[in-house]
Amino acid sequence: MLASSADPLLGKSLSSGASSVDGDSAISSMSPVTTEPAHSQSDSRGKEDAALLLRSPVNDRTAAEVESYIASPRASATDLKNRCLEAFFHFFSSAHPFVLPKLYMIQMLRIKPLSHLEAAMRYVGSYYIKSAPTEYIAQEATQLLSRQDCVRDGFTVQAMLLLAIGLDGNTEFDKANEMLKQAQDLALEIGMNHRAFAVMHGEGLAVLEESWRRTWWELYVVDGMIAGMHERTSFRLNEMPIEVPLPCEEQEYISGVCFPHPTFDMKLII
């Protein structure tokens, strides 16, 4: 199951428990975002939930050597990129497991030009590294997504969705809503809400097919959470017919042996 739908830590600020690998809150040192007076009540509540989507659940599998590597001060730009990616998979992906599992993603990045998705993953991972230039990485990812030659496919939907989650976690709600809308528009444009999409675009890989299904359900869950918590958007995807099978179990996904689960009618009455 997607952790987002059941994570008991969602809705709590990073400052309530999650900390960066340097020992401080990954968000607490950032400057607050000035908001418009018309949204003051909503924004006040939103700031209390700052980084709600970035918050990872308690990870019992934490490896001291991985955290040591992520936290170690190094000057190399390439090394910082690698640490941001490592932080993404170590701290974040278990809470939102929709991009390919780490080993499969590394292989995919070697054979496909997915710089926009890689930048989006580094952006989210940078929140857990105190010295990382998070705003710069966000700009890089946004610019890559804005390029005319950016392929309008499922990987781009994933990159947009990661940016939306990161922006929402940093209380940049307007930007987050716009990025989420773009992700939804593209997902519907390419037919990601249809059952056949995963097989048609899965390249014969069960794990990639599962990644597409999980991306749709992550869009659905994030759409509902943002609509319910910030009250600025409607639960748009709740109005769409649901054909996409439910996610398989986490261990099946990580292993690459994924089996689609049956769909069911989960349209909510708002």
pLDDT in tens, 118-159: 999 999 999 999 889 999 999 999 999 999 999 999 999 999
Check residue 239 and give its pLDDT.
Answer: 84
Check residue 130 and give its pLDDT.
Answer: 86
> For 101-172, where are the alpha helices, taking DSSP H only?
102-111, 115-126, 134-146, 154-169
Q: Distances from the Cα of 45 to the Cαs of 41, 50, 112, 216, in angstroms?
A: 6, 9, 41, 27
Confidence of residue 55 (pLDDT cuts 50, 70, 90): very low
The tokens for 150 are 């950016």
Check residue 28 and give its pLDDT.
Answer: 29
For range 217-246, the mean pLDDT: 86
Q: Residue 53 and residue 31: Cα distance in Å, rounded?
A: 18
Check residue 187 and give its pLDDT.
Answer: 96
* Res 117 pLDDT > 50: yes
Check residue 148 and give its pLDDT.
Answer: 93
Check residue 179 and give its pLDDT.
Answer: 96
Ranges of each domain in the chain? 61-255
Say which range, 44-48, 122-126, 146-150, 190-194, has the weakest mean pLDDT: 44-48
pTM listed for this prediction: 0.74
Residue at token pair 């428990």:
17
Q: Distances from the Cα of 5 to the Cαs of 1, 20, 49, 57, in angstroms?
A: 8, 24, 16, 12
Q: Percentage of residues in the chain with pLDDT exceeding 90?
A: 53
* Res 210 pLDDT > 90: yes
Confidence of residue 267 (pLDDT cuts 50, 70, 90): low
Element (H, E) at 222: helix 206-230
Say which range, 89-98, 158-167, 226-235, has the weakest mean pLDDT: 226-235
Check residue 263 and give its pLDDT.
Answer: 62
Say which range, 18-27, 119-128, 181-190, 252-261, has the weakest mean pLDDT: 18-27
